[in-house]
Amino acid sequence: MVLTAAASQLSELVSIADYTRVNLIVLKRGGLEVLWGRLWERKVLLLGTAAGLLALCILSTRLWFIRIEGTNEVSPEAITKLLDENGIRVGGRANDVDLVQLAHRLAAQTPEISWMGLTLEGVTLKVDVNEAKLRPAVEESFEAANVVAAKSGTITKVITLLGHAAVKAGQWVEAGDPLILGHVVHNEVTTDYYVCASGEVYAAVSYTATAEAPETRSVELRTGKTSPYLRVELFSKVLFTRGSRFETYELEREERSGLGLLLPLVFTRGSYFETETAQEALTRDERIYEAELLAKRAALAQVPSDARVIAISCRTVEEDGRIFAVCSVIAEESIGTVQEIYG
């Protein structure tokens, strides 16, 4: 008879063998404890491994790669130079720097950047850049022009720089209506004159979208197949991870234990559970929720990036067993555009 047992069960098996007068022969030993014992017998190899791991840990405290994402107008070289001027460079230390505060400071110092994020991922610094959307320069200048509405909406704010305001806060305007007039009526003595009107006019603009509720949704179900999981760490650095042989899976960690001999090794064990996609019927409340979520996303996708969302409302309609959601998003944005006065 051949048995496979854990090392902790060996003493019980010996007792049973003595009681039943059966010869017990250990054919093979395995596991992390056995591997550690073999390494302990070869002290030179063990010390060399420890020295290598120590060197790896020291090197891992340094920054060796900088990955920049989100740049278009701003060159990656300019970002790298900006970081270097603030003490962040390849081969240097980044653990002692408050990356959040540094990112805010760099974005504030650079007009071309509206937001910057700095994230340290091991020995790699990830730089996320959101470039500022600067207003394009006016390609042509008119001697006489009005500022007119590019969209319909309710006026919230009028800032007149040149010309005469034709609207006020709270007033509804249609696309094409004049907002700031370039025709200036001075007084009874002075002759009227024309200017190229300029300023900023903000309005609350509505964006609406409709979505139909799905009847089912995709869910991941376990098939019953499993495979073991193992993760080995040293000084909080991952040395080894046993991957899954399944394309889709769920992971459950069952045990976390430390082996405190010479090195602070930490072993985490668990299991991978294979999953497959299946369709699950939705309840009425779940269908309403999904429809409102889809409609809200579609409405928000229409809102310009420089607009400010001030209100969101949704309603549902049921017809012949089908459920529809209608969502409206109210956003405040600049709606003025220059239109030349002819004649």
130-188 tens-digit pLDDT: 876 544 434 445 678 999 999 999 999 999 888 889 999 999 999 999 999 987 766 65
User: Would you state the pLDDT for residue 315?
Assistant: 95
Tokens representing residue 311 in the block:
């209100």
Which residue reads 């696309």 in tokens? 175
CATH topology of domain 65-131: Ubiquitin-like (UB roll) (3.10.20)
pTM: 0.49
Domain residue ranges of the chain, discontinuous segments joined by +: 7-59, 65-131, 145-200, 210-215+282-334, 217-281
Beta-sheet strand order (sheet of 113-121): 65-69, 124-131, 113-121
Render 94-150 in DSSP notation, one character per residue: -TTS-HHHHHHHHHHH-TTEEEEEEEEETTEEEEEEEE--PPPPPS---SSEEEEES
Q: Which helix (H) or strand (E) holds 79?
A: helix 76-85
Element (H, E) at 187: none
pLDDT of residue 40: 58
